[in-house]
Amino acid sequence: MAGGVHAQQKAAARFDAAAALNVAARQPMLAERITKAFSLAGQRVLETRARRQLDDALREFDAALKELQGSAPTAEIKENYQLLEQLFDEFRGITAKPVNLQNARQLAEQNEELVWISTKGAMLLQAHTRSVRGDLIVVAGDVRTLTQRIAKLYLFRSWGIRSDVIANDLKKAEGDYRTAMGKLLASPQNTPQIKSELALAETQFLFLKQAIDRLNANATSKQELEHVAKACDNILDVMERVTSLYEAMKG
């Protein structure tokens, strides 16, 4: 028992709340990104780029998982990431299978649980740290996740995955995106640099909506699927910078 307490104290001593929150809030995005990349490659859309994204996201998820377990400030948070590790091992095993519709369906099922437990980890850390900065990091992290989820869902639609609920999934994801962005845009903590980045994200979202409109007119067009995927990734790039700026804030 004493050894366990000592190990927990050491973990707490090296715990950087803002940095850990940024890493934790990034995990759901990576889970969505992996499934999105698998679906891109399976439909021969941006295939080379998708396979690179898949490998990178798997590697990043695994490294972050080890980091979050090693720095977990409470037993509950550590247990959550131990469970996530078990889920990820199974999830990663599916990605090693041939990139086809059957395995994409299996990955889609596992993806939801992986995102859920990843999100729970971020929420536990958010509750532990309790700061305005932490709240902003988590909301910005939600936007990052939704960029990849939206792209993934349009790919699912074109491939016939979750076809019974896909319209509702898309409506909810896009609604959640606007809600989260609204919170960020209204934050009095925003610096001029953050405001500029958020304005850029809003411009990129307009491009995304245009790409979605074209895709809705031709739901299986590989070219329009490519445009939606690229637009989502462009927003993600901006939101990575925004989240880092929130992390760097004092307090």
H runs (alpha helix) in the chain: 2-13, 17-42, 47-71, 75-95, 101-129, 132-159, 166-185, 192-217, 222-248
Give the 3-state secondary structure of residue 75.
helix
- Out of 3-7, 24-28, 130-134, give the one with best mean pLDDT: 24-28
Which tokens go with 97?
Answer: 């299978």
Residue 9 has pLDDT above 80, yes or no: no
> 80-124, pLDDT tens digit by residue?
999 999 999 999 999 999 999 999 999 999 999 999 999 999 999
Mean model confidence pLDDT for the chain: 93
Residue 187 has pLDDT above 80, yes or no: yes
Q: What gap in Å lies between CA 128 and CA 72, rounded to an integer? A: 11
Mean pLDDT of 40-50: 97
Residue 11 has pLDDT above 70, yes or no: no
Please list, in sequence order, all residues whose beta carbon lies within 8 angstroms of the beta carbon of residue 211, skipping any fewer than 6 positions away. Answer: 224, 227, 228, 231
